[in-house]
Amino acid sequence: MTPQPPGARAPGPEADVLDFPLPPPGTMGPPESCARLREGRPVARVGLLMDATAWYVTRYEDVRTLLADPRLIRPTINDWPPRPGPAADDEPRLVTMAELDGPRHLALRRSVASAFSSGAVRDRLPRVRGLAERLLEEFAESGPPGDLVAGFTEPFPLLVLCDLVGIPSRDQDWFLPVLDAALDGMVTVEEGRRVTDLLRAYVAELIARKRSRPGDDVLSLLVRQCEDGTLTGEEVTAFGLSMLTVGFGISGFFLADSVHTLLHRPDEWARLRDHRELMPGAVEELLRYMPVMNGTVLLLATEDIKVGGQTIREGDAVIPVLASANRDGSVFADAARLDLCRADNPHLAFGRGTHNCVGAHLARAELTVGLEALLDRFPQLRPAEGQEPLWDDQSVTKSPLTLPVSW
């Protein structure tokens, strides 16, 4: 069975529904069909799981507009995918920052804004670099060759986030398998209830620890604001769940995809190694070019919306495809080519509007520091001869599971 995001309402018999676009096995994407859809059907119905559909939106301007449209909301596991009958009181509730709206969402963003600001991230760069160097030193001792995903691109963002947020990295052997189950099983109520209960219990325990033994971390800060009435307990829990579910995973995917792409363009790897002044622009270009999860953000329309010549009805699901928007030739010259010197780069990798990524500065820093540390420690890094990366083609992440390298 091919992987697809959770579904929307079933189409009427008159609807012209396309198969959900997927990149070829062993590749990142975006799907080849995105270019054709941008030209001919920029807002098209696609089939999802559970005999359901969503509007698949591929042009840059349409995607940019919809991302900031307050009439589109992120559904929770309780109301998505649709199920017959009313939701039970004990159904799983996995509410993160992405699902919060209005004053609750604004209060939480304001509370964490200073910790994720450009200045705060800049101040943490020495600690971030230290974590990267420690991991790469351990990685070097075990090879060559070595698997860069297991040795660096996966643990590095996790350690950075644990250090900032206040999640004990020693707990990862417990919560990482639970997170994998959560991401794999959310379409079933039974599996959703099991993993959601586990994650919520873990975050509740973590918050209790911070109350009794506060530290110099973001979660301790939020717990103090909860005690003075600025935030509610549910909002602090939502932040903790956000950090666990997507806070480090996306950065890891971006770093793995970026290294894989650059190593298969050895001239570009050498160019970046020898001309570090290119790094800021190169990071922005990698963020544009890397189709992490193919930008599949599923939203629900709370009102009728007209876009791209189509009417999206209240209750319809919408997928603004960031990966397709970031390859739109009407906005980006030679959009299908990786250009580390691209000057004009208004990519949408971090979204837009009230739900734009609160960790954008941290994500940029992790990608920058990760690449710089690799270039410094392994200037001759290259794909390991005779070993190909493994890919999980049953996952929407479309990121390599392994990166065999030599140096």
Give tens-digit pLDDT for 204-231.
899 999 999 998 999 999 999 988 888 8
pLDDT at residue 12 tops 50: no
pLDDT at residue 248 tops 80: no
pLDDT at residue 186 tops 80: no
Mean pLDDT confidence for 159-167: 92
Q: How far apart are CA 22 and CA 25, in angstroms?
A: 9
Query: How many whole angstroms from its chain centre is CA 188?
Result: 22
Residue 265 maps to which CATH number? 1.10.630.10
- Shared domain check, 260 and 345: yes
- Shared domain check, 204 and 124: yes
Output the pLDDT for position 6.
39
Residues 6 or more apart in contact with residue 169 via CB below 8 angstroms: 158, 159, 162, 163
- Shared domain check, 278 and 377: yes
Residues 6 or more apart in contact with residue 113 via CB below 8 angstroms: 358
Q: How far apart are CA 74 and CA 318, in angstroms?
A: 10
Between 81 and 337, the higher pLDDT residue = 337
Q: Angle at the Cα of 75 (from 164 to 71), degrees rounded to 5?
A: 105
- Shared domain check, 364 and 391: yes
Output the pLDDT for position 183.
59
Q: Which domain holds residue 349?
A: 95-291+329-406
What is the total count of domains within the chain? 2
For the stretch 286-344, pLDDT in tens is 999 998 776 678 899 999 999 999 999 999 999 999 999 999 999 999 999 999 999 99
Residue that is written with structure tokens 């506060």 in the block: 214
Mean pLDDT confidence for 76-103: 59
* Single-letter code of the amino acid located at 355: H
- Shared domain check, 346 and 311: no
pLDDT-derived band at 182, boundaries 50, 70, 90: low
- Shared domain check, 317 and 284: no
Output the pLDDT for position 8.
41
pLDDT at residue 361 tops 50: yes
Residue 39 maps to which CATH number? 3.30.43.20
Q: How far apart are CA 47 and CA 55, in angstroms?
A: 9
Contact indicator for 10, 53 with CB cutoff of 8 Å: yes
pLDDT at residue 9 tops 50: no
- Shared domain check, 185 and 252: yes
CA-based end-to-end distance of the chain: 38
Global confidence as pTM: 0.88
- Shared domain check, 183 and 231: yes
Q: How far apart are CA 250 and CA 383, in angstroms?
A: 23
Residue 265 resides in a domain: yes
pLDDT at residue 56 tops 70: yes
- Shared domain check, 66 and 178: no
Q: 82-96, 141-155, 177-191 — which is least confidently predicted?
A: 82-96
- Shared domain check, 358 and 321: no
Q: How far apart are CA 328 and CA 343, in angstroms?
A: 16
